[in-house]
Amino acid sequence: MEFGLLNLILLLISVHCLHYSWSESSQQQRASAVTVVEQTEENIGKRKEEATVEDDLDPEDMEVFYPTDKWQVVKPGQAIPAGLHVRLNLETGKNEAKIPDDGNGKNGLKYWKQGSRHGMVNTDSKSFTAEELKKALKLMKQEGITDVEGHEEKVQKTFRPIKELMEDFEAMNVVMETDMEIIDKLVSKFNSTSATLENKIAALSDLEYYVHQVDNAQHLMAIGGLQLMTNALNATEPGIRENAAFVLGSALSGNPKVQIEAIEAGALQKLLILLATDQPLAIKKKALFAFSSMLRHFPFAQQQFLKLGGLQVLGQLFQAKGMESLRIRIMTLLYDMVMEKKLIQEVQDGSAQDQEKFHQYEKVNLLPPMLEQDWCVLVPKLLTSTDHDTREKVLRTMNLMISSCKNEYQAMEGLSSLLNMLQSEYEELAAEEQGEGEQDGYFLGLLNSVNDIIKKLG
């Protein structure tokens, strides 16, 4: 009895333990359904890719979305042109886009721009018409104009306005002087009794720079500076005479008002004295420069030049020893004066101004005294130069004078042989030019000048 009761108790305990074990196993199986998957490297990489957002992509690496009239899936990272219809497909959970209709079921030409990328889409046909291309080009040009305007706005923000800069200069006591104010100071500096020789020469050098301008030269004349420069031609210091002549030459060049004032101030006579007397070559060069500036296109000055014996002075200077570098300048000046009169005589439009010029040049008879003073012989001597530019000017002058100097040219020993030598030389050089494709080259022009003289002398 006792043994049976003991067995019954052991059986109950076994059944209870088995039930507890089964219950615990079921709970573990249910819990396994929500357990987090182990974080392997593959899973981590996949989750990082899914977590990447569009803002993290480099705009230059984005794939451009090319729209049509059909809904297309927009991939992550694709650049979508502005103006498209965009929707979220609820069935697939993806974004889609297409070109909007124009209300008639037609899409037509569409222009899009994304950053530096831009283009157009034509959904009506596979090719573009000429009008469509013109429209697209117009849109692209408008984009360019917008970019330029943006650039200008950026520049305006970067640099300060001139008004503000001027205000800052005034605050710093920086005075912006005009050319005329500077000329006033330079004249005062040159005319100052306390100025050293170096100060005076420096003032003249600076003045020469400014008086190239017509208005500045006339201002110098208005404040008495032109008379001051004319008087300085008599200065005892060579440096003063040289630089004063240089200032005069620059102020006179192509400036009729200053030319008239200078001749009335006696500048022509004083320049002739510098050319006729013993002076350093540097002074002679500057005096001849000023002399030429006064005579060119000023028939009254040319008349006075002949009356004062200027042609004889130039002839002596032309033949003077040590003055060889001035010969071409002298010959060019005489040629220019002869040509001025010839052109005025040949070209007239009947205006009162041309008639007045014609009457003024009629009083200038330069060629006859040139023939009397052996210029027919002096000019051809320069043909021995090896410089082509010098030869050109000599040949040009000889052609101008040949009708009056024919006998002298024919009588000159060695001139015919020299012309034949130049003819051969320029035939070769002209042929080389033509071989290089230059039909009207420089050397062909020189050859024609030589041929003209040879023909006229024959």
Whether pLDDT at 170 is above 80: no
- Are residue 322 and residue 261 in the same domain, yes or no? yes
Give the integer Cα–Cα distance in Å for 250 and 68.
74
Percent of the chain with pLDDT over 90: 52
Whether pLDDT at 355 is above 70: yes
For the segment 332-352, what is each residue's pLDDT rounded down to a tens digit? Answer: 999 999 999 888 888 766 677
DSSP string, 248-317: HHHHHTT-HHHHHHHHHTTHHHHHHHHHHS---HHHHHHHHHHHHHHHTT-HHHHHHHHHTTHHHHHHHH
For the segment 199-236, what is each residue's pLDDT rounded down to a tens digit? Answer: 999 999 999 999 999 999 999 999 999 999 999 999 99
Q: Which helix (H) or strand (E) holds 200?
A: helix 197-210
Tally helices (H) and strands (E) across the chain: 21, 5
For the segment 291-321, what is each residue's pLDDT rounded down to a tens digit? Answer: 999 999 999 999 999 999 999 999 999 999 9
State which of 298, 333, 363 marks the end of a domain.
363
What pLDDT is stored for residue 393 in this prediction?
A: 92
Q: Name the pLDDT band for 133 (thresholds 50, 70, 90).
A: low
Is pLDDT larger for residue 163 or for residue 140?
Answer: 163
Domain span holding position 102: 62-127
- Are residue 263 and residue 316 in the same domain, yes or no? yes
- Are residue 220 and residue 100 in the same domain, yes or no? no
For the segment 75-124, what is each residue's pLDDT rounded down to a tens digit? Answer: 877 777 666 777 877 778 788 888 776 544 444 555 555 555 556 555 55
What pLDDT is stored for residue 13 in this prediction?
A: 47
Question: Checking phi first, is residue 11 left (phi over 0); if not, alpha (psi -120 to 50) or beta?
Answer: alpha
Q: How many CB atoms lie within 10 A of CB 346?
A: 7
| Gyration radius of the chain's alpha carbons | 49
What pLDDT is stored for residue 90 in this prediction?
A: 73
pTM of the model as a whole:
0.62
In-domain check, residue 9: no
- Are residue 334 and residue 436 in the same domain, yes or no? no
- Are residue 123 and residue 141 in the same domain, yes or no? no
Q: For 45-54, 115-124, 278-287, 367-376, which range has the lowest pLDDT when averaged over its residues?
A: 45-54
Is pLDDT larger for residue 7 or for residue 192?
Answer: 192
Q: For 9-18, 134-143, 400-409, which range has the lowest pLDDT when averaged over its residues?
A: 9-18
Percent of the chain with pLDDT over 70: 70
- Are residue 266 and residue 185 in the same domain, yes or no? yes
What pLDDT is stored for residue 112 in this prediction?
A: 56
- Are residue 97 and residue 227 in the same domain, yes or no? no
Whether pLDDT at 131 is above 70: no
Q: Name the pLDDT band for 28 (thresholds 50, 70, 90).
A: very low
Is pLDDT larger for residue 24 or for residue 352?
Answer: 352
- Are residue 200 and residue 339 in the same domain, yes or no? yes
In-domain check, residue 52: no
Work out the average pLDDT over 39-65.
45
What pLDDT is stored for residue 357 in this prediction?
A: 84
- Are residue 145 and residue 186 in the same domain, yes or no? no
Length of the chain: 458
Residue showing tokens 């008349």: 303
Give the integer Cα–Cα distance in Å for 375 and 381.
10
For the segment 234-293, what is each residue's pLDDT rounded down to a tens digit? Answer: 999 999 999 999 999 999 999 999 999 999 999 999 999 999 999 999 999 999 999 999
In-domain check, residue 267: yes
- Are residue 247 and residue 141 in the same domain, yes or no? no
Whether pLDDT at 188 is above 80: yes
In-domain check, residue 369: no
- Are residue 189 and residue 331 in the same domain, yes or no? yes
In-domain check, residue 373: no
- Are residue 156 and residue 190 in the same domain, yes or no? no
Whether pLDDT at 397 is above 60: yes
The overall average pLDDT reported for the chain is 79
What pLDDT is stored for residue 68 in this prediction?
A: 76
Whether the Cβ atoms of residue 391 and residue 415 lie closer than 8 Å to each other: no
Residue showing tokens 């101004």: 353
- Using CA atoms of 252, 258, 259, 260 in order, give the dihedral in degrees to the nearest 10: -170
In-domain check, residue 354: yes
Domain of residue 268, CATH code: 1.25.10.10
Residue showing tokens 């400036």: 255
Q: How many CB atoms lie within 10 A of CB 32?
A: 8
Number of domains in the chain: 4
In-domain check, residue 406: yes
Residue showing tokens 């002058």: 397
Q: For 82-91, 378-387, 421-430, which range has the lowest pLDDT when averaged over its residues?
A: 82-91
In-domain check, residue 356: yes
